[in-house]
Structure 1
Amino acid sequence: MATTMRNLNRLTTTIRTASSLLIHQTASYSGITRSSNTFSYLPQSHWLLLSNISRELTHGRNCHGCNISFSTDVSAARDFDVKDVEKSNKSYVPNDVVLYQFEACPFCNKVQAFLEYYDIPYKVVEVNPMNKKEIKWSDYKKVPILMVDGEQMINSSDIIDKMYQRMHPDSVTEDAETQEWRRWVDDHLVHVLSPNIYRSPSEALESFDYITTKGNFSFTERLVAKYGGAAAMYFVSKTLKKRHNITDERRALYEAADKWVRALNGRHYLGGSEPNLADLSVFGVLRPIRYLKSGKDMVENTRIGDWFTRMENQMKPHRDTTLQGS
């Protein structure tokens, strides 16, 4: 009981300090410069932000003026010159695939969608967002990380490109439409999600519920991640809403969903009769919010629901969670 009370007291202090830190830290976002390689991006960055808060609290330092830069998922590997020739490499079957992830991460879900659509069995390691102890072996300190037969792959779009090219060795380009929509996912759709996911304190808490059941995390780690993270991201989402000139977050989400449906132009998928990599990217990014309040509102108020259901039915999950949090 004494240990539990100490944990709860520590949690209260952490949440209060985290919220204070975020008020100061959000000012630093305005100093982040966008280039071809980096930009400020919340759905991936909120876990790095939690890690930074945890580290600052541990060492008793403030986080004023932190400069944070995040990798984009836009892959240069998509730009080729030769016409596309679809030819599956039936001989390419990886023996050991391990995905290091956060369950609620849109980028991780993009990789999941690719693996599940192409019926590739994989193991899951849920990474602790506070200390990332599960990926301390890697020089790359973000997720997703995909280990394929001992080879490390990073950045969701790069992972998908590499895996796709191995499965389709004669396919050396994407059509312009697919490229355009994959870029739209990384450059626009992801920015609409955060103000919606963390729109209110209750929605912010809902988005962190997964942490209470996933991974090998201690009682204190779960509480800090859920309540401290939710409080922090509620404040950060308000800053990012202004940064991306979003006045009505739900309307922006609905407009993005309807824009995607219009792009389908009556097709079951952007790829026609079967999903292509753009379908998988949109589906993967939206999947973490589908059954949150924001995702339910999106389906209820737009025409994206039928497409999303078709995509869900295309998934062939062979996920082994025996490595969960190992």
Structure 2
Amino acid sequence: MATVRKLSRLATTIRTSSSASISSTRRHPIPQTPSSYTITNTNPASHTRTHWFSSISGAQSFTGRNALYSTAAASEAREVHEGSYVPKDLVLYQYQACPFCNKVKAFLEYNDIPYKIVEVNPINKKEIKWSDYKKVPILKVDGEQMVDSTDIIDKLHQRMHPDSGTEDDETKKWRGWVDNHLVHVLSPNIYRSPTEALESFDYITTHGNFSFTERLLAKYSGAAAMYFVSKKLKKRHNITDERKALYEAAETWVDALKGRQYLGGSEPNLGDLAVFGVLRPIRYLTAGKDMVENTRIGEWFTRMESQMKPQHEATLQ
């Protein structure tokens, strides 16, 4: 019975780890009004990659004609200069499917920083009982606790690039757009139907940190709960057609690139990494496949995949 009672809180936990948790996290100030997110060009119609709550058995990376850009410049850009800050021991406490955790991982992997992973059990969270902060991601950096994905990235980036100056308005705007808009579109899409909800929970129960009993109960009870929760999220964020909203978000991002390979120009910047991080978990779900097939985002996504240098290992607790 204890396990069943804990599982009754699973939907709330997962919802908190995705879009609903945004209201309690610190945000960058965004000089633009919500109208700055208006769609200007709408098409209505990763080691192992992470995919939001779905089995990735047999999944293959999609291709595009620009998929194989040379990474020589990127490697050079990521070289750590003598005297720069280099964290020695990083441990990421995460849920494999959490979009905010994947933002942090995208930053670490792009910058070629090795790290360890502790997969947190979303029901009892015993792996983070040592911390007063009960959400993920938590990143331990040489023993120092860092929390909130945006804060974590800001602090590491500032330490690695102390002379980088103030973040430009364009990057700030799109990082804010990720946290205040893009993530809200994801849950209504991946839990859109009972079939897609089960597909999503197949991943979290297979790759998450669950006991055998928890895994069996969570897959079906969690999928059913989140199917109904997603309808409330859809209403809360004024989404009438979830797929159209996802396609519009993808097209909005491609328009923001203005013909550039990346928002950062020839190399990704923090805006690129934020968008890529939150989209990567859904890439091989039905929603992610539909997004790539019906929008222009695929080539950019493939270029971003080629920039990642995953260097992590699992650590059990």
> In the superposition, relative to structure 1, how do residues 45 and 312 fare at CA in structure 2: closer, same or farther (>3 Å)?
closer
Query: Which deviations, in whole Å up to 9, do the C-alpha atoms of 1:209-256 show, x marking residues without a partner?
Result: 223333553111212332222111111110111111111000000000
Give, in whole Å, the separation in 1 of the partners of 2:146 and 2:231: 33
Using the alignment, how far apart are the partners of 1:14 and 1:145 within structure 2?
Answer: 22
Equivalent residue number for residue 180 of structure 1 = 173
Match of 2:292 among 291, 294, 299: 299
What CA distance in whole angstroms lies between the structure 2 residues aligned with 1:247 and 1:153?
Answer: 37
Tell me, yes or no, if the aligned pair for 1:73 and 1:186 is still in contact at 8 Å.
no
Work out which of the residue numbers 71, 90, 94 in structure 1 matches 2:24: 71
Given residue 315 of structure 1, which amino acid in structure 2 is its aligned partner?
A: M
Residues 95 and 149 of structure 1 are in contact (CA less than 8 Å); yes or no, is this contact kept in structure 2? yes
Q: CA deviation at 1:45?
A: 5.2
What is the one-letter code of the residue matched to 1:117? Y
Distance 1:165 1:47, change over 3 A: same
Relative to 1, partners in 2 of residues 1:45 and 1:264: Cα closer, same or farther, differing over 3 Å? closer
Equivalent-residue separation in structure 2 for 1:46 and 1:280 (angstroms): 18
Report sequence identity in percent. Answer: 72
Q: 1:105 aligns with which of 91, 98, 108?
A: 98
Give 1 or 2: higher helix fraction: 1
The answer to whether structure 1 residue 311 and structure 2 residue 304 are counterparts is: yes
TM-score normalised by L of structure 2: 0.78
- Is residue 228 from structure 1 mapped to residue 181 from structure 2 by the alignment? no
Residue 289 of structure 1: how far off its partner (Å): 0.4
User: Which residue does 1:254 correspond to in 2?
Assistant: 247
- Per-residue deviation at 1:43? 6.1
Which amino acid letter does the alignment assign opposite residue 230 of structure 2? S
Unaligned runs of 5+ in 2: 32-78
1:44 aligned partner: 17
Tell me the distance in 2 between the aligned counterparts of 1:145 and 1:101. 7
Equivalent pair of 1:125/1:215 in contact (CA under 8 Å):
no
Bigger RCO of structures 1 and 2 (CA < 8 A, at least 6 apart): 2
Question: Within 5 Å, which residues of 2 pair with 1:77-92?
Answer: 90=82, 91-92=84-85
**Cα distance change, pair 136–43 in 1 and its aligned pair in 2 (3 A):** closer
Question: What is the rounded CA distance, in whole Å, between the counterparts of 1:201 and 1:76 in structure 2?
Answer: 37
* Alignment of 1:217 onto 2:210: yes
> Mean alpha-carbon deviation: is it higher for 216-225 or for 178-187?
216-225
2:260 alignment partner, SS class: coil
Q: Which amino acid aligns with 1:271?
A: G
| RMSD, matched Cα | 2.9
Aligned partners of 1:47, 1:171: CA distance in 2, in Å? Answer: 32
C-alpha contact 2:95 2:208 (8 A) present in aligned 1: no
Tell me how far apart the structure 1 counterparts of residues 6 and 143 of structure 2 sit (CA, whole Å). 38
| Counterpart code for 2:205 | T
Q: Which residue identity is paired with 1:224? A: L
Task: Extract unaligned runs of 5+ from structure 1.
Answer: 1-5, 26-40, 49-68, 79-86
Misfit runs of 4+, over 6 Å: none
Aligned partner of residue 105 in structure 2, secondary structure: helix
2:112 aligned residue (94, 114, 119): 119
Q: How many residues align?
A: 269
Of 156, 169, 175, 2:162 maps to 169
- CA gap of 1:112–1:100, structure 2 versus 1, over 3 A, is same
Q: What TM-score, normalized by structure 1, do the two folds share? A: 0.76
2:38 counterpart residue number? none
Partner of 1:207: 200
> CA separation in 2, counterparts of 1:208 and 1:297?
19
